[in-house]
Structure 1
Amino acid sequence: NGFYIFLNPNEIDSSDEYNENDPYTVIENFKSDFHQRRLNCTIELIKKSKSSKNLLDLGCGQGHFTDKIKKEFSNYNVFGLDYSISAIEYADTNFKNIDFVVANAYNPPYCDEYFDIIILNNIWEHVPDPLNLLQSINRIIKPNGQLVISTPSRYRFINLIKASLGKEISFMSKLHVTEYTVGQIKEQLKFGGYKVNKVYSPSIKEGRLIYRVLKSIISIILKTVKSHHILEATVFYSANKLPPTKAHK
């Protein structure tokens, strides 16, 4: 097919810092149960969209996830954007009927209000300034367009235990800039002009019995005190862009 590169000359040298050990993109890791759950949850949230024609996978990596989305929603116009030339070269070679481009997510090369749905799968934890990214997204997403985000829960079960013991929490990957709490992301989306419709994290029933029992007890306590913390590793958010008059209220 061939693909376009929308980068300034000074950006091209840094655009191939693509890490093939990134757990969210390479095919070997994508076949894991973790990523299958990630895919299934994203698909379920997309299905709830009432009008969907143009869909963008922002930060698509090698395109494995994008291809699965296209196969599930074959009538959608599916697009993939990533900063890495080598990743998009792989995606464009291996996956058809998807429009892949190399570009900076902060300067996406699309028309205003073009997309019905924009997916950010495990991108948020790589972003030091989410509000700046939301500003770029706001230009290209339609009014009432759907934003689907998946990202690690900062205070998932193991980190909540560590924090309660006064220990330093850990990130899921050394490539993460940070990991946000559920409350932080909801506030970021609200301030960015979005209404959060669903915060979702399917429970994974695995591990030793003592682990599962303790996790259940902590979950009940969190609900009782109305805490926004979620104990599962990954949290999914579905939000819709509000009209300008309703944003920031």
Structure 2
Amino acid sequence: MRILLSNDDGIHAPGLKVLEDIARTLSDDIWIVAPSEEQSGAGRSLTLSRPLRVRQFDARRFAVSGTPTDAVMMALAQLMPAKPDLILSGVNRGANLAEDVMYSGTVAAAMEGALAGIPAIALSQRYADTGLGDEVSFAAAEGWGERVLRPLLGSEWTPGTVVNINFPPVPAEAVKGVKVVRQGMRDYGRVRLEPRTDPRGFPYYWLSLGRIEHALAPGTDLAAVAEGYVTVTPLHLDLTHERSLEALHGAYL
């Protein structure tokens, strides 16, 4: 089985090394094509206004000067001799829960694989509030990565879908198990713009995501990760809202 690895934290991210270790328990045919620098929050963006450059580290490891979507496109169209059987994206430093999936470059890389008809999985490690920078622990992902992936490999795969996996911020031995859950939703009010001033006196703004108090709806990724479970959430690329489609048809009769 040929597996392509990518991410949005960049080619040198510690989570990518964690993902490589997990992937090598599944196959010895591993290819890595990832952004050369961190692209968190890049979503499904493409690089259209400047050229893409590729740096090769070894026969199956490359960095692309673009977004996660660029990296997967480059892998499939130029760098790999044939399509992979599976695409794994991550392990992201930080969770991709609820509406995070709309912004996530980690999920976007997996979605590009799904568009190409390839089974694709995004993996993310939530971290505690005290875990900053290189202090983030990937213990749950390291201990549970293979266990949560193997059952998926033998499952029936619906075209145009992506599986989104999130690991809770606890030691591997404290993980309670795996739950298949739906995508949750938070209050959009958690987005903050912090105004600052540069040394020349000009204003600039730092975008951040603040904590908000919200009810954790049962059966969602938000609730299950908070309870200490690894979450598995199937996502699909078709964003059409079927009930609204029918209602809008009626508006034009």
Q: Same fold (TM over 0.5)?
A: no
More strand by share: 2
More helix as a share of residues = 1
- TM-score with structure 1 length normalisation? 0.38
